[in-house]
Amino acid sequence: MPTEAELDRLYVVLVRARNPNNIGAAARAMHDFGLRHLRVVNDFPVPLESARSAIDASDVLADSAAFPTLADAVADCTLVVGTTAVGERDLQHELLVLSDAAPRICAELRRGNDCSSGAGRVALLFGSEKTGLSNDELSHCNWLLTVPMRQYAEVRHPSMNLGQAVAVCLYELVRDRPRPQSSARNPEGPSANGPQAAADCAPPNPATAADLERLTELLSEVLEKTGYIRRHPANGGPAQLRRLLRRMALDAENTSVWMGILRQILWKVGGA
C-alpha cells in the first residue's frame, strides 16, 4: 500500500468531464482513498459549484487545478497512464488490466522517495463520460489500463460510470497486495514474472511529460522540415509521434541528448 507521501504524487486528471456530479464523485473517491491532487482539463470554465456539494469532497475540489490542455496538466509527471474501456478501438498502446497496472504505478510512486531521481509523479487520466479519451489524448500516455468488465454481445462500447471508474482504480491502487518477498520465495507463482518485473523495466530517471512534449514538437518540426510528413502523412501526426516517443521509455538524460540532436538537425535544415 502506498504511503501518504507516495499518494501525494498521484494526480487524477479528468479530461473533458462534462457532468459536475461526476467531477464531485471523482473528488469524493479521491478523498475516501487519501488522494489530494485533482486536475481538470477543459476548454471551458468547469461549473465546479455543483460539484462542490459532493459530500466529503470539498478539500479535494478546493485544491483542484484547471488546465487548458492535457499537455499542461501532465507536464510535471514522469508516468502518464490512460484509462480506457477498450471497446472496438484499435489501441496502439500497451494495455494492462488494472490489477497488473497498479503495482507498476506504485513502483513509479515509490521511485519518488529518492529525491535525487526526479521521478515518481504519476498522472492517471480519465476521459469524458461520452467518448472516453480521444486518440490524441491517448497519445500523451506511456501506457493504458482497463478495468475488466463483463462483455455483452449487444453492447458495443462497454464503459463504466466516471465516478465509479475512479473509485475502482483508486481502490486497487491503495489495496493491500501480496508482499514482494512472498512471490520471490515462490518463483513458479503467477506473480513472479508479472507486473513487478515489468515495473523494473522503467528507466531509473524518467523524463517528464513536459520534456517529452518538447521533444515531440522538435521531432515534428524536423519531420516537417525534412519532408518526411509529406511522404508519410499517416506516421507523422502529433499523436503518432507522441506514441513513438513515449514507447521508448526515455530517461531525462537521453531526452536532453535527443533534444540536442534534433535542434542540430533543425539548424542544419534551416528551421532554427
> Minimum distance from CB of 96 to a second copy (Å)?
12
> In degrees, to the nearest 5, what angle opens at C-alpha 213 toward C-alphas 210 and 218?
130
> Minimum distance from CB of 201 to a second copy (Å)?
22
Q: 148-178 b/e with 16+ CB inside 10 Å = b? A: eeeeeeeeeeebbebbebbbbbbebbbeebe
- Residue 200's alpha-carbon distances to 53, 165, 195, in angstroms, are 42, 27, 9
- Cβ proximity to a second copy: between 26 and 266 the closer is 26
> Minimum distance from CB of 205 to a second copy (Å)?
30
- Contacts with a second copy by CB under 8 A lie at 25, 28-29, 31-34, 55-56, 97, 99, 147-150, 155, 158-161, 163-165, 167-168, 171-172, 174-176, 178-179, 182, 185-186, 188-191
- Cβ proximity to a second copy: between 182 and 235 the closer is 182
> Minimum distance from CB of 208 to a second copy (Å)?
27
- Residue 49's alpha-carbon distances to 46, 119, 198, 200, 256, in angstroms, are 9, 34, 42, 42, 42
- Cell numbers 515534428 correspond to what residue? 220
- Cβ proximity to a second copy: between 88 and 176 the closer is 176
- Cβ proximity to a second copy: between 42 and 191 the closer is 191
